[in-house]
Amino acid sequence: MTTLLNVEDLIKNFGGLTAVSDVNMHLNDDELVALIGPNGAGKTTLFNLLTGVIVPSSGSITFRGSDGLIPLNGMKAYKIANLGMARTFQNIRLFKELTVLDNVLIAMTANYRENFVQSVFRLPKFYKTEARIRQEAIELLKIFDMQDDLDQLAKNLPYGTQRRLEIVRGLATKPKILFLDEPAAGMNPEETADLTRLIQQVQHDFHITVLLIEHDMSLVMNLASRIYVLDHGSLLAEGTPKEIQNNDAVIKAYLGEEA
Ligand SMILES: Nc1ncnc2c1ncn2[C@@H]1O[C@H](COP(=O)(O)OP(=O)(O)OP(=O)(O)O)[C@@H](O)[C@H]1O
């Protein structure tokens, strides 16, 4: 088992508030890990730190690339994305006026560096690549049962489908790590159950690492092989779903909150 992402003594202060406090964690390749915690625990801030949206106050984040360890501190978000890290956001961020297919194609083409001459003069190779990308996008959408929605504008999709499209867009960049911020937020129980199956299937079939923030405990307990629990910015516990469910401090801080 290889560690893909390693976080050491990570701290993020916003003025006088410490939103993330001395966090140590790691993500191995090919595993599904959940990050849970009460509202305001620092989960989204931690995601933002890992994906370069904000810079840490101190501590280190290291990614294992194909050529060795890469420090991510201070690296721009687009560079981190190019290393193979994709994310979805709590609030849906699709191109609402574009079709489903175009939303995915835009994410995919970020990965293809076509020869400038090929694309400007529309040489045959350009069309071949374009057809291949299009086919890949359609295959991906099929997995998510969206093959009949290709020409729909994103804004016209039902809410649950928009959330699924966000995940497809993340996958379209061929990530090594996919960060999902509350993928089931606002979904009904049936949609959540479908999504749980899909995330499981995708993680398994694509052999990627998934880190997900989620408030839906059934989804977390069914999906994750390991769980990190944050409380007031600090890690309260780490363990398997069973260990977390039986952890007194977690029950008090988080699960107890819902009881
Ligand atoms: N840009 C910011 N400036 C100041 N304070 C911030 C900023 N971003 C987050 N915070 C604060 O940091 C703390 C952690 O917030 P964060 O959004 O990371 O929590 P969370 O665990 O994701 O919560 P939720 O489950 O409600 O989404 C909160 O007290 C929040 O108000």
Q: Please state, in angstroms and rounded to a whole number, the distance separating the CA atoms of residues 251 and 11.
A: 25
Task: Report residues whose beta carbon is within 6 angstroms of any ligand 1 atom.
Answer: 14, 17, 19, 37, 39-45
Listed in sequence order, the residues at least 6 apart from 23 whose beta carbon sits closer than 8 Å to its beta carbon are 7, 9, 10, 11, 46, 59, 230, 233, 234, 235
Alpha helices in the chain (DSSP H): 43-50, 77-84, 100-109, 116-120, 124-143, 159-172, 189-206, 217-223, 241-245, 248-250, 256-258
pLDDT for 116 equals: 56
pTM of the entire predicted model: 0.87
From the CA of 40, how far away is ligand 1's center (Å)? 5
- Domain holding 14, by residue range, is 3-258
Using CA atoms, how far apart are residues 137 and 150, in angstroms rounded to an integer? 10
- Calculate how far, in angstroms, residue 235's C-alpha sits from the geometric centre of ligand 1: 15
Predicted complex ipTM = 0.96
Q: Are the C-beta atoms of 35 and 23 separated by less than 8 Å?
A: no
Model pLDDT, residue 185: 87
Confidence of residue 259 (pLDDT cuts 50, 70, 90): very low
Which residues are within 8 A (CB) of 116 and not within 5 positions of it... i.e. 6 or more apart?
none
Q: Which atom of ligand 1 is nearest to the CA of 45?
A: 18
* CATH assignment of the domain containing 225: 3.40.50.300
- Specify burial of residue 109 (Cβ count, 10 A radius: 0-12, 13-18, 19+): middle
What total of structural domains would you count in the chain? 1
Contact status, residue 161 vs residue 109, Cβ threshold 8 Å? no
Q: Give the Cα separation of 213 and 126 in Å (integer).
A: 39
Task: Provide the 8-state DSSP code for 146.
Answer: -
| Six token digits for residue 57 | 């106050």
> What separation in Å is there between the alpha carbon of 221 and the centre of ligand 1?
24
CA of 38 to the centre of ligand 1 (A): 11
pLDDT tens for each residue of 88-120: 877 778 888 999 999 999 888 766 555 555 555
Look at ligand 1, atom 26, and give the residue with the nearest C-alpha: 39
- Residue from 10, 11, 12, 17 to probe ligand 1 pocket by mutation (most atoms less than 8 Å from CB): 17
User: Whole-angstrom Cα distance, residue 83 to residue 67?
Assistant: 11
Q: Which two tokens stand for residue 233?
A: 């910015």
CA of 113 to the centre of ligand 1 (A): 37
Atom of ligand 1 minimally distant from the CA of 47: 18
54 Cα–ligand 1 center, Å: 12
